Amino acid sequence: MNEALRLSALPTLRLLTCGSVDDGKSTLIGRLLYEKKLIFDDQLSALERDSKKFGTTEDDIDFALLVDGLEAEREQGITIDVAYRYFATEKRSFIVADTPGHEQYTRNMATGASNADLAIVLVDARKGLLTQTYRHSIIASLLGIRHIVLAVNKIDLVGYDEKTFRDIVIAYRQFAEPLGFHSLYAIPLSARYGDNVSATSERTPWFEGVHLMDYLERIEVEEDRRTAPFRLPVQWINRPHLDFRGVAGTIASGRVARGDPIVVAGSGRQTTVAGILVADAEAESAEAGDAVTLTLADELDIARGDVLSHPDHRPEVADQFTANVIWMSADAMLPGRSYLMKIGTRTVPASVTELKHRLDVNTYDKLAAKRLDLNEVGLCNLAVTMPVAYDAYVDNRDTGSFILIDRLTNGTAGAGMIAHGLRRATNVHWQGLTVGREAHARLKHQKPAVLWFTGLSGAGKSTIANVVEAKLHARGVHTALLDGDNVRHGLNKDLGFTAADRVENIRRVGEVARLMTDAGLIVLCSFISPFRAERKLVRDTAAAGEFIEIFVDTPLATAIARDPKGLYKKALAGQIKNFTGVDQPYERPESPDLTLLSGEEGVEALADRVVAELERRGNVARF
Amino acid sequence: MTNALPAHLKRLEAESIHIMREVVAETRNPVMLYSIGKDSSVMLHVAMKAFHPARPPFPLLHVDTTWKFREMITFRDETAQRLGLNLIVHINEDGVRRGISPVASGSQVHTQIMKTEALRQALDKGGWDAAFGGARRDEEKSRAKERIFSHRSAAHAWDPRNQRPELWRLFNTRMRDGESMRVFPLSNWTELDVWEYIEAENIPVVPLYFSKARPVVERSGALIMVDDDRLPLEPGEVPREIKVRFRTLGCYPLTGAIESEAETLADIIAEMRASTTSERQGRLIDSDEAGSMEKKKREGYF
């Protein structure tokens, strides 16, 4: 690190580079490090060795090899993940996120953008603006980046032509106008030869701006989070002994001082700040970015997930809001499906209630859509199971952002930025019921349950369910039966058989079953319900322990041979689309409460096993 | 004094504290991998602050290859005692019985059995679902792409193609039974940040980082310290006493010293600012071939 004396008072600049494949992002970063003499001797000799083996630049050093880390991408010549680089010059420290240009890895770009203040958008001077250029600029804008450097690279390959540069800049400015960038600086450069990278090039005499490094060292990007309202998402309660109870977290925005009044968002309980620890040191005040532990004047019921604020500037609180969601999973986002939302330090069950539109990130057009696939962006309404505190993302990146977690794989499936809350959410309150569900059940001398029969069409679900219901009725048990075909004639006649409609179909049935169990009934539901996620959704909708998953297991060949409604014949002939088992998958239950092999035992025997299970669980009295 | 901490170090410290608190709040049974080096010293120092006035609510785990410098082991035991922390030392006893050593078995086999396998054994035995490590992204190219929360399968494998995206400060800590997280609170620190922080906070480090006359022999261009009589001298090899120090610490036969006059922290920082070689240059296990760190990580190396 020659001469890299850091002036620590200057803020670190967090930036990301983005652009299309082969625009030269990695080359630019490598060139910056090389020119600032930030490449060490042993790294340089490894680079020279690798350039001969993998390089694409013939005799020169291939700077991209310095920053492309993983073996696979080295072989493909494509950066496939986000790589972080750290360097410091005399004037400033930098953290650079190198993000992919390849179409299918857009999620990584959003990841890099979420913590960046400035984006360098690279454009190949020979190719001009490409789909990727639009896509990455729109994602940068969505993620709240307000400063853009438009780097028109490979200017050497167009003979350092001024008009080519100007045309690209004009086209980009026109496109970027609705994206809300505060600053846009365009610069002609050659990453390979170093023109305008860290010295002004003599080969672009028509360019009057400063070179890239000069610009990056001087730009002011800090949005002053210290002047925003105070927000402290509570991470952890520190209680080492009876005399100390601290509320620990990182201040998302604003300042707090000893003696300040504070309020817990949601509960509305108030107290004052008795003491402040910044890290482990006592302090009079603390500000955005500080990791603090607060002690409070009164013992309030505060837990992880709460948000502390000043009483005069509180965050919004709602259980429904509208947000832009970037989808990051190969499993499509379907409205109605249940996810976990991590917002600040709170994790709550959530579902998308409505996909208002999908955003075409190449054109900024709003398109009608029923699902979001990997790398797609959409404006959604979401509902969570309890009210949460939040701010709009444009006002606060920390309290306005969330991730959605797949409940089965635990993967991070999506990332969201809250636009606004839905006003009605604050006005819809649960009705406190005077006659409770226990009272209903007591009157019937039974314990309510949802018997969920799942399996292929023709497996025998409805046949078995009917016999079970008859046996229960004979014992004086109060039941109701919801059957796929019947429900679709009434409650769900507006729904088709696409994956999205199947999810909604099951969601509604789950809600109805829940209301019926509230009334004390034993509800028999007979639905193909091919997706694990939806069956889990119904399980979560039901009261704890009341959902009994019954897998009616029949080989597909047997079901096709039975074909009681002639549907397989039509599906196999291509006359019915989205038919489970034919052109739509059936996801077998991983651990059903009961498995009925319908090819091996008679219907009576299978029904008796279901009744016996209800006796064992105490839902109905034994004879 | 915290007040004297420069802004960029204060920000790094706060970020590391945030990460540690997330782990303690969201995982069942965390542990801190303590490797005795400068990064571990910083990580432990930050942990002492993060949970103050409570003690860090997790034990320290040292995977001892039995070939660490003697001064490292002394320092380790003193540190645990000084801070009143629970230190667990794990040795791959099976490897010891099989006579695995960097001298007899070579660096690759030794690292695989006494470090990577030993670590897996220790984590399985302890039932820990989250393990803090002191790795930084600026150390090596494949580290640059590592997440802060690195999800590992039940077999401790790392799949570089199937990592969870990490946005904002929202870390997804959910996992199934048997799976675990490796968590790197110092991800965004550089080597220079580490030394500046050690100086600003007056953190004790192993004396081997400071220059002193030590007995060394030169092997394939690296200066190897003769730390005890287990290092067989080759014919004609006579240890020389020269002023050396270590920039990174590992197993002594695998860690090259550098000639240096830096006897104080200020000297080290000045020397580093003028340095033209990278930190891991002294680590013999990394230079086997390009991508060697990535291969080790897929197998469960930290």
pLDDT tens digits, residue range B275-286?
665 555 555 544
* Residue in the structure block whose two tokens are 């303690």: B24
Alpha carbon B33 to its chain's center: 8
Active-site annotation holder among A114, A329, A526, A529:
A529
Is B92 in the same domain as B114? yes
Q: Which pLDDT tens digit goes with each residue over B2-54?
A: 456 888 888 899 999 999 999 999 999 999 999 999 999 999 999 999 999 99
Contact criterion met (CB below 8 Å) for A336 and A503 = yes
Average pLDDT on A553-578 reads 86
Q: Give the count of beta carbons closer than 10 Å to the beta carbon of residue A218.
A: 11
Q: Which pLDDT tens digit goes with each residue over B121-141?
A: 898 899 899 999 999 988 866
Between residues A109 and B184, which one has the greater pLDDT? B184
Q: What is the pLDDT of residue A8?
A: 45
Percent of chain A clearing pLDDT 70 (strictly above):
87
Residue A536 is labelled as binding a ligand:
no
Is B11 in the same domain as B125? yes
* C-beta atoms of B53 and A71 within 8 A: no
| AA letter at B233 | L
Is B116 in the same domain as B184? yes
- pLDDT above 90 (res A97): no
Is B62 in the same domain as B160? yes
pLDDT band per the 50, 70, 90 thresholds, residue A5: very low
- pLDDT above 70 (res B265): yes
Q: What is the pLDDT of residue A24?
A: 75
Task: Name the minimum distance, in Å, from the CA of B152 to any CA of chain A.
Answer: 12
A203 by DSSP, 3-state: which? coil
Interatomic CA distance for residues A572 and A567, integer angstroms: 9
- pLDDT above 60 (res A556): yes
Is B167 in the same domain as B212? no
Is B244 in the same domain as B223? yes
**Catalytic site includes residue A529:** yes
Q: What are the angstrom distances between the C-alpha of A441 and each of A283, A372, A446, A520, A607?
A: 58, 41, 6, 4, 23
Asked if residue B142 belongs to a domain, the reply is: yes
Contact criterion met (CB below 8 Å) for A315 and A420 = no
Contacts of A415 in chain B (CB under 8 A): 165, 167
Task: Name the minimum distance, in Å, from the CA of B50 to any CA of chain A.
Answer: 6
Residue A273 is labelled as binding a ligand:
no
Q: What is the pLDDT of residue A136?
A: 85
pLDDT band per the 50, 70, 90 thresholds, residue A48: low
Put simply, the chain B residues between 264 and 293 with a CB less than 8 A from any chain A CB are 272-278, 281, 290-291
Q: What is the pLDDT of residue B142?
A: 65
Q: Where are the alpha helices (DSSP H) in A475-518?
A: 484-489, 499-518
- Structure-token pair, residue A615: 């006796």
Interatomic CA distance for residues A111 and B148, integer angstroms: 13
Is B55 in the same domain as B91? yes
Q: What is the pLDDT of residue A100?
A: 62
Q: Which pLDDT tens digit goes with each residue over B165-178?
A: 899 999 999 988 88
Task: Name the minimum distance, in Å, from the CA of A385 to any CA of chain B.
Answer: 19
- pLDDT above 70 (res A37): no
Q: What is the pLDDT of residue B302?
A: 60
Contact criterion met (CB below 8 Å) for A270 and A262 = yes
Domains and CATH numbers, chain A: 3-218 (3.40.50.300), 225-309 (2.40.30.10), 317-421 (2.40.30.10), 443-617 (3.40.50.300)
Which run of H or E residues covers position A168? helix A162-176
pLDDT band per the 50, 70, 90 thresholds, residue A1: very low
A455: nearest Cα among A577, A547, A541, A556:
A556
B128: nearest Cα among B156, B97, B161, B104:
B156
Q: What is the pLDDT of residue B25?
A: 95
Is B275 in the same domain as B261? yes
Put simply, the chain B residues between 113 and 142 with a CB less than 8 A from any chain A CB are 137-138, 141-142
Contacts of A235 in chain B (CB under 8 A): 18, 21-22, 25
Is B263 in the same domain as B118? no
What does the mean pLDDT of chain A come to? 85
Q: What is the pLDDT of residue A160?
A: 93
Q: What is the pLDDT of residue A78?
A: 43
* C-beta atoms of B145 and A83 within 8 A: yes
Q: What residues have CB less than 8 Å from B231, skipping those under 6 apart?
A: B103, B217, B224, B252, B253
Is B140 in the same domain as B262? no
Is B98 in the same domain as B115? yes
- pLDDT above 60 (res A431): no
> How many domains does chain B fold into?
2
Asked if residue B1 belongs to a domain, the reply is: no
A76, A238, A307: best to mutate for the B interface, most B CBs within 10 A: A238
Q: What is the pLDDT of residue B276?
A: 61
Q: What is the pLDDT of residue A429?
A: 37
Is B178 in the same domain as B252? no
ipTM entry? 0.89
Average pLDDT on A31-37 reads 71
Residue B135 lies in domain = 7-202+291-299
Give the domain CATH number at B151.
3.40.50.620
